[in-house]
Amino acid sequence: MADKKSILNKKSLDFLKRYLNTAAPTGYEKPGQEVWMEYLKPYVDEFITDPYGSVAGVVNPDADYKVVIEAHADEIAWYVNHITDSGLIYVQRNGGSDHQIAPSKRVHIHTRQGPVDGVFGWPAIHTRNPAKEKTPTVDSIFVDVGAEDAEEVEKMGIHVGCVVSYPDDFMILNGDKFICRAIDNRMGGFMIAEVARLIHESKKKPDFGLYIVNSVQEEVGLKGATMMANRLKPDVAIVTDVTHDTTTPMLEQKKLGTAKIGKGPVITYAPAVQNNLRTHLIETAEKKKIPFQRMVSAPATGTDTDAFAYSNGGVPSALIALALRYMHTTVEMVHRDDVENVIRLIHESVKGIKKGETFSYFY
């Protein structure tokens, strides 16, 4: 670690646990955003919100020069798509939910009256023919809420369009591995909130406007970031999201590159990543002795970086990724050291930006 003194304290870890444990599926991010805003409020001057639920906490809102640090707030989920006469529920994806992990998972179906418990059912191993084994598909997985028929399902408040999430909660594995669903990418929201805290505690405000942005609907195409980029019109954007730890089984490093949890933030190379801004991140990491890794994400990063980079005639943008194992499962795993070092790198990089800097290639 670059600095043996831990950034995370009891208050921030309590916030992380509460934030990750709060269901906030794509299109239904409000509960998570409320937890995030409550924590961030002491560290910013004001909030900007948009009609779909993206939020920016702003430091120095009257400044002309604007720097964004950004993450996305939504988690993958399911929609109730069809209720059978016998009371079973078929689903459709809301984001990139993995059908192969669904069987035997517990779920919450969110209704106006609150969450209803259910389970993804699956035929017992005794009843399946090993020679003709069928793997789960979106069309074959189903939710059982213990109802006798469709009428009983409807009496529970469940209808087509209800969102379905996993209730799996936060845990710490072996002392320094953070485990939960929705680490992609509420850990990003947590990290940029911690940057705001560090700036506030330093009593050294930047001389530009700093926008701590938590965007919605990334998992369905960078939608919230696109709206916020157009609304805020920033001069610079530093985005954080997750990337794959490629050292676990069944992943091909020749294709995916190499990144590993515990080895530091992953600085990304891609057409959307502005070279001079990325150089600023690398030089900052080297100067502050923050370990980092490199990864290529071409032709696109697939993150909100792309939305900011190509907005408003072009915004210098860069991506600091957090290595993560088991993406889009309920046991996503990151290393505490990486979380702290991403926070450090964003914080130090923001501190090193000069008001009016264009990061231009030509002057």
Residue 4 has pLDDT above 80, yes or no: no
Q: What pLDDT does residue 1 have?
A: 43
> What is the mean pLDDT of the segment spanning 68-89?
98
In the chain, domain spans: 10-75+181-351, 77-165
State the architecture of 10-75+181-351 in CATH terms.
Answer: 3-Layer(aba) Sandwich (3.40)
% of the chain exceeding 70 in pLDDT: 99
What is the distance between the alpha carbons of residues 121 and 124, in angstroms, rounded to a whole number? 9
Please give, one letter per residue, the 3-state secondary structure of 137-179: CCCCCEEECCCCCHHHHHHCCCCCCCEEECCCCCEEECCCEEE
Task: Tell me how crowded residue 357 is: count the other CB atoms within 10 A of its CB.
Answer: 17
Structure tokens at 133: 């084994």
Residue 346 is given by DSSP the state: H
- The set of residues, in sequence order, having a beta carbon less than 8 Å from that of 326 and lying 6+ positions away, is 248, 332, 333
Q: Average pLDDT for residues 253-259, to the nearest whole number?
A: 97
CATH number belonging to domain 77-165: 2.40.30.40
Query: Is 70 exceeded by the pLDDT of residue 2?
Result: no
* Model pLDDT, residue 5: 83
Q: Give the mean model confidence (pLDDT) for residues 278-301.
A: 98
Residue 232 has pLDDT above 50, yes or no: yes
* 360: pLDDT strictly greater than 70: yes
Mean pLDDT of the chain: 97
Q: Residue 246 pLDDT more than 60?
A: yes
What is the mean pLDDT of the segment spanning 60-75?
A: 98
pLDDT band per the 50, 70, 90 thresholds, residue 62:
very high
Q: Closest Cα to residue 96, out of 22, 184, 176?
A: 184
Task: Please give the span between the terminal C-alpha atoms of the chain, in angstroms, as a whole number.
Answer: 36
Whether 3 shows a pLDDT value over 70: the answer reads: no
| DSSP element (H, E) containing 321 | strand 317-324
pLDDT digits (tens, 9 = 90+) for 177-212: 999 999 999 999 999 999 999 999 999 999 999 999
pLDDT at residue 139 is higher than 70: yes
**What is the mean pLDDT of the segment spanning 253-265?**
98
Q: What is the mean pLDDT of residues 272-284?
A: 98
**What is the reported pLDDT for 299?**
96
121 contact partners, CB below 8 Å, separation of at least 6: 88, 103, 104, 142, 143, 144
Share of the chain above pLDDT 90, in %: 98
Q: For 122-142, what is the mean pLDDT? A: 94
